[in-house]
Amino acid sequence: ELSEMSERSKQNVAHGLAWSYYVGYLKIVLPRLKKSMEEFSRGNPNLLACRKTWKLHILIPLSCDVYDDLEKADSNIQYMTDLTETTLARAGTKKRVYKHSLYAIRDEENQLWHCAVEYATPLQSLYAMSQDECAAFSREERLEQAKLFYRTLEEILKGSKECADTYRLIAYEEPEEAETHFLSREIVWHLWQEHHEEIAVLEGSRPHSPCTALDSAELNLQISVSDLPQPLRTDGF
């Protein structure tokens, strides 16, 4: 009965996608990211001077509108190169390749910022489900699932020791009126904050936190603890 109720309310969708994304991807690649960044930095010391930006910046648009080509999403975002690949045998596939792309982000003052950035790919599944009659996902349900995905992923990563300080979640709601460089401004703000965090650590002071910061509380998730998927049994099975 509980399982049927959970399926009808679709509570397990975002929760399952977040865990799958973590276990099947982030937990594999994030612990190896610093080494790839360090290797790249040795050959390009001026591009990744701030170690606080040596993270995977994960874009989470609550609209689930994911571009396969970031350069088409915003012309101020330019692909540079790929970081060192990680090759592993996974689920019967030998030499499965994992890699991240490095981008140059141009800000409003024509300054270039460099970072590894990509979309959270499970959002493509949420978007596809909202377009498929079999899934019967409305736009409103998709939005709530995107919010739940973000909050669940945030909690999972906060509890992961091996992924500590290797990622930055960039969740955002796109403006109603299209803005040409909204995405690049969003990424640059996070990079700016990371730079100031590093300066604060070096100087022994607390970083200034601009009022434009977005976190899980300010995204107006409107999801109570009771709304989260709960285990069907509590006896350990």
Residue 222 is assigned to a structural domain of this protein? no
Element (H, E) at 170: strand 167-172
Q: How many domains does the chain have?
A: 1
Residue 197 is assigned to a structural domain of this protein? yes
On the question of pLDDT at 115 being above 60, the answer is: yes
Q: Give the separation between CA 19 and CA 192, rounded to whole angstroms.
A: 29
Amino acid 202: pLDDT: 57
Number of H helices, E strands in the chain: 7, 7
On the question of pLDDT at 110 being above 80, the answer is: yes
On the question of pLDDT at 126 being above 60, the answer is: yes
pLDDT digits (tens, 9 = 90+) for 54-82: 999 999 999 999 999 999 999 999 999 99
Helices 11-21, 139-158: inter-axial angle, 10-degree rounding? 40
Domain limits for position 35: 10-205
pTM (predicted TM-score): 0.81
Report the amino acid identity of residue 142. Answer: R
Residue 210 is assigned to a structural domain of this protein? no
Higher-scoring residue by pLDDT: 150, 206: 150
Q: Give the separation between CA 147 and CA 153, rounded to whole angstroms.
A: 10
Give the CATH number, domain containing residue 99: 3.40.50.12100
Q: Give the separation between CA 78 and CA 208, rounded to whole angstroms.
A: 28
On the question of pLDDT at 237 being above 50, the answer is: no
pLDDT digits (tens, 9 = 90+) for 175-196: 877 788 999 999 999 999 998 8
Residue 225 is assigned to a structural domain of this protein? no
Amino acid 233: pLDDT: 33
Q: Give the separation between CA 137 and CA 135, rounded to whole angstroms.
A: 6
Position 218 confidence tier, pLDDT thresholds 50, 70, 90: low
Residue 121 is assigned to a structural domain of this protein? yes
Q: Percentage helix, strand, coil, to 5, in the chain?
A: 45, 20, 40
Residue 28 is assigned to a structural domain of this protein? yes
Residue 146 is assigned to a structural domain of this protein? yes
Residues 214-234 have a mean pLDDT of 44
Residue 237 is assigned to a structural domain of this protein? no
Comparing CA positions, the residue from 81, 77, 33, 85 lying closest to residue 59 is 77
